[in-house]
Amino acid sequence: MAKIVLSIITLVIIITAGAVFFKTQIQKSTSEKIYPPVVPQVKSTQTTVVPRTATSTAPQLQTGIESLIDAELAGLDADISDIGQYNQDTSLDTMGNDISAVSQ
Amino acid sequence: MLKRENKKTYLGTMLIGVMFLFMAIPTFTNGQTWNEIDAAARAGYFKVKDTYSKEVDFYKQSRKDFLKVKQKYQQYKNAPNKAELETKAKKFLNNAMSVTIRRLETLRNKAAGMRGISDADRQMTLTEIDNDINWLKEKQSLLPAATAQQIKDQAKIALDHWNKVKVTAKRISGELLAARINFTIGKAETLATELDKEITALKASGKDTAKLEQRLSDFRQKIALAKEKYQSAQERFKAINSLASADKLFTDGHQFIKQANQYVIEAYKSLKEIIREMKLQSALNPGIGSIFGITPTSTPEK
């Protein structure tokens, strides 16, 4: 009996872990379709504590920061555009008059 | 003997399970970059926006149906036409409220996902939107049993509320935008302070920093101009409180935000030049990256 319970618990752990893993991977790949990933290489470069005089990682770091700047600006641009479009939406412009027609 | 082997099999299975768990954990405990957070928030926003667009189609169809039946009733004025008119009016009002709810939900999604807003402000904004949504849902629930007079009364109430929602949506969306650009300006100001320290250290070590100082000054100047435009925008958005002025104030504020964005773009161009120059002098501090949400001491991504 105990063996069956333990096997079931093990199976549940494996299925849950597997599901979480694949779900996260799918979410990651969906996000990457919207914004091409520019950050990951930078992350690993920046994780090393580099002496300030070292030249080996400087070019990568430079490219990394530049990519981050581009991503930051792209994100801001997208938000400005989304909010602009939200307010320029004319689909409901006649709603006021249309509702008035009901009350008459 | 068999029992011991079963134990081994069990332990082996258990180990695989635990390994799976450890493989899964880093994928969601690794710090997400702003880029990834933005992408996820935007994907969610487009999903809600898509639902809103579908609701607009339902609304437009019910408006056509209602206006057609209303014309027919005005022509013949008989009982069957009156009953049909009431049914179509209820459906139209119901769809008008639904599309308003969806529009508010689109804004709610943006407010929930946009960065640069403090937790307290975000919560206040979400509560304000939720109150409007709940109000509409409550009125919607009264429609099925409404009499002809009640339909007319509900229409007047819905119209007043729609006018209020239009103003609220413009103010909130403007304030969200202002907070968003202020976030990027804030990052730039922090960067300027950090770069200043780096340049001072370089100068102290005897290096020629004239070019760097000039570029940092350009960077700061452009960020200061962006901040001015942001403040002008924020004033316009905060002043939105009536239907009469909402469109004009929002448009003006949005223009200021676009101008601020241009200065931010130019400022960051100067920043790139500073980074290139510092790289030439081998003086680029990895800690600078942390301003963009990455810390040099974090676990490497595999």
Of B146, B170, B199, the last residue of a domain is B146
Domain of B217 in residue numbering reads as 179-292
pLDDT tens digits along A68-88: 888 889 989 999 999 999 998
Q: Are residues B140 and B186 in the same domain?
A: no
A46-63: average pLDDT: 46
Structural domain contains residue B133: yes
Q: Are residues B142 and B186 in the same domain?
A: no
d(CA B97, CA B86): 16
Structural domain contains residue B197: yes
Q: Are residues B194 and B126 in the same domain?
A: no
Structural domain contains residue B265: yes
pLDDT at A19: 66
Q: Are residues B186 and B137 in the same domain?
A: no
Structural domain contains residue B156: no
Tens of pLDDT along chain B (302 residues) come to 445 555 555 545 544 544 444 344 333 334 566 677 778 888 999 999 999 999 999 999 999 999 999 888 888 888 888 889 999 999 999 999 999 999 999 999 999 988 888 999 999 999 999 999 999 999 999 999 999 899 999 999 989 999 999 999 999 999 999 999 999 999 999 989 988 998 898 889 888 889 999 999 999 999 999 999 999 999 999 999 999 999 999 999 999 999 999 999 999 999 988 888 887 776 566 556 555 554 433 333 32
Of A49, A71, A99, the CB nearest to B35: A71
Q: Are residues B288 and B186 in the same domain?
A: yes
> For residues A97 and B214, which has the higher predicted lDDT (pLDDT)?
B214
Of B94, B127, B146, the last residue of a domain is B146
Q: Give chain B's domain count.
A: 2
Averaged confidence pLDDT in chain A: 67
Structural domain contains residue B110: yes
pLDDT at B39: 84
Name the 3-class secondary structure at A54: coil
Q: Are residues B142 and B187 in the same domain?
A: no
Is the pTM here over 0.80, yes or no?
no
pLDDT at B265: 95
pLDDT at A38: 37
* Cα dihedral sign, B259-B263-B268-B273: positive
Contact A65 B288 (CB under 8 A): yes
Contact A99 B107 (CB under 8 A): no
Structural domain contains residue B87: yes
d(CA B191, CA B269): 13
Structural domain contains residue B24: no
Of B146, B169, B190, the last residue of a domain is B146
A25 touches chain B (CB under 8 A): yes
pLDDT at B41: 85
All residues of chain B having their beta carbon less than 8 Å from the beta carbon of residue A43 are 33, 294, 298, 300-301
Contact B264, B230 (CB under 8 A): no
CA distance B173 to chain A (A): 6
Q: Which residues, at least 6 apart from B27, have a Cβ–Cβ distance to it below 8 Å?
A: A20, A21, A24, A25, A28
d(CA B38, CA A68): 13
How many pairs of residues across A and B have Cβ atoms under 8 Å apart?
225
CA atoms within 13 A on the CB side of B240: 28
Contact A64 B289 (CB under 8 A): yes
Q: Are residues B208 and B107 in the same domain?
A: no
Tokens 């241009």 found at: B262
Q: Are residues B126 and B209 in the same domain?
A: no
Q: Are residues B189 and B288 in the same domain?
A: yes
pLDDT at B64: 92
Residue-by-residue DSSP string for B93-158: HHHHHHHHHHHHHHHHHHHHH-SS--HHHHHHHHHHHHHHHHHHHHHHHHGGG--HHHHHHHHHHH
Q: Which residues, at least 6 apart from B278, have a Cβ–Cβ distance to it below 8 Å?
A: B195, B198, B212, B284
pLDDT at B26: 37
d(CA B107, CA A22): 31
A86-103: average pLDDT: 86
> For residues A17 and B216, which has the higher predicted lDDT (pLDDT)?
B216
Length of chain B: 302
pLDDT at A80: 94
Structural domain contains residue B129: yes
For chain A positions 60-99, those within 8 Å of chain B (CB to CB) are 61-62, 64-66, 68-69, 71-73, 75-80, 82-84, 86-87, 91-92, 94-96, 98-99
Q: Are residues B129 and B217 in the same domain?
A: no
**ipTM topping 0.90:** no
All residues of chain A having their beta carbon less than 8 Å from the beta carbon of residue B301 are 40, 43-44
pLDDT at A30: 44
